C-alpha cells in the first residue's frame, strides 16, 4: 500500500512537470497557461488509459464478477489517491494561470472562482477520496455507508443507463404527438435495433448489480463463541 501510494505521489506530479517542461521547450510560442492546461489534460489521459487497462486486466482475470477478487483492483485504488489530490491542485493551477493572465495573484477570489467553476468535479474527487477508498479498503461491506453507496449506485445506474431509453422514446413521442407505445413503430427500424444493442448490456450489468446489492443486506455471519 505505502509503496503504491509513493509511486502515485511521484508519478503524476512528475509526469505533469515533465510534460510542462517539454511543451515549453517544444512550443516556445505557447503561453504558460497553454502549456499547463495541455499538460493537465495529458496526465488525465494517461490516468484514463491506465485505469482502462487495469479494468480490462481485472475483467479478463476474473471468472465470477460477484465473488472474485484481483490484487490490481485493491492496489490501483491506492495509486488513484495521489492522482485525485494532484488533479485537484492541477485544476486550481489552471484556474490561477487563467486569472494571472488578467493580472490577478493567488487570492481568495481566485480560489472561490475555482470552487464555483469546478464544483461537480471537486465533489467527484472528494467522494472518491473519502467514500470510495474507505469502502473499498476497510472491509466495511456491512456498514451503513457501504449500503447507502450501493443504493445510490443502483439508483443512478437505473436512471442514467436504463430509464434513459424509454425517456428518449417518450420525449420523441411527446414532440410528435404520439403515445409511448406507438413510438417504436414510428421511427426507423435500425434505431430500435441500435437501442436494443445498447440497452441489452446495461440490463445485464444492472442485474449483476442487483445480485451484489442483495448480498449487501444479508445478515453478516455471527461469530462463534470460543
Confidence of residue 217 (pLDDT cuts 50, 70, 90): low
Instruction: Map grid coordinates 445480485 to a residue.
Output: 211
Residue owning grid cell 476474473: 62
Cell of 3: 509503496
Question: Higher-confidence residue: 80 or 98?
Answer: 80
Could you tell me if 206 and 161 are in contact, meaning their C-beta atoms sit under 8 angstroms apart? yes
CA dist., res. 80 & res. 60, Å (int): 21
Separation CA 99–CA 7 (nearest Å): 32
Cell numbers linked to 114: 475555482
In this predicted structure, the answer to whether residue 124 has a pLDDT above a threshold of 80 is no
Among the listed residues 158, 131, 159, 163, the one whose alpha carbon sits nearest the alpha carbon of residue 147: 131
Judge whether residue 226 has pLDDT over 70. Answer: no
| Start-end of H helices in 138-187 | 144-157, 164-176
149 vs 126: CA distance, rounded Å: 14
Flag whether pLDDT at 104 surpasses 90. Answer: no
* Percent of all residues in the chain with a pLDDT value above 70, rounded to a whole number: 80
Q: 58, 73 in Cβ contact below 8 A? A: yes
Mean pLDDT to the nearest integer, 110-116 = 76
Amino acid at each position: 500500500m505505502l509503496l503504491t501510494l509513493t509511486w502515485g505521489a511521484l508519478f503524476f506530479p512528475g509526469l505533469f512537470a515533465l510534460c510542462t517542461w517539454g511543451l515549453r521547450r517544444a512550443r516556445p510560442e505557447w503561453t504558460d497557461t497553454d502549456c499547463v492546461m495541455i499538460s493537465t489534460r495529458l496526465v488525465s489521459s494517461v490516468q484514463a488509459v491506465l485505469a482502462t487497462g487495469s479494468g480490462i486486466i481485472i475483467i479478463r482475470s476474473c471468472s465470477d464478477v460477484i465473488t472474485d477478487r484481483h490484487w490490481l483492483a485493491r492496489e490501483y485504488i491506492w495509486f488513484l489517491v495521489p492522482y485525485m489530490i494532484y488533479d485537484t491542485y492541477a485544476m486550481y493551477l489552471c484556474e490561477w494561470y487563467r486569472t494571472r493572465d488578467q493580472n490577478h495573484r493567488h487570492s481568495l477570489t481566485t480560489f472561490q472562482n475555482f470552487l464555483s467553476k469546478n464544483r461537480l468535479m471537486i465533489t467527484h474527487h472528494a467522494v472518491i477520496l473519502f467514500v470510495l477508498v474507505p469502502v473499498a479498503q476497510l472491509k466495511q461491506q456491512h456498514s451503513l455507508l457501504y449500503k447507502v453507496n450501493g443504493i445510490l449506485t443502483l439508483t443512478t445506474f437505473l436512471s442514467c443507463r436504463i430509464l434513459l431509453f424509454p425517456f428518449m422514446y417518450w420525449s420523441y413521442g411527446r414532440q410528435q404527438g404520439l403515445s409511448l407505445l406507438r413510438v417504436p413503430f414510428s421511427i426507423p427500424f435500425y434505431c430500435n435495433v441500435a437501442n436494443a444493442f445498447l440497452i441489452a448490456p446495461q440490463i445485464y450489468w444492472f442485474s449483476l448489480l442487483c445480485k451484489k446489492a442483495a448480498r449487501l443486506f444479508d445478515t453478516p455471519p455471527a461469530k462463534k463463541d470460543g
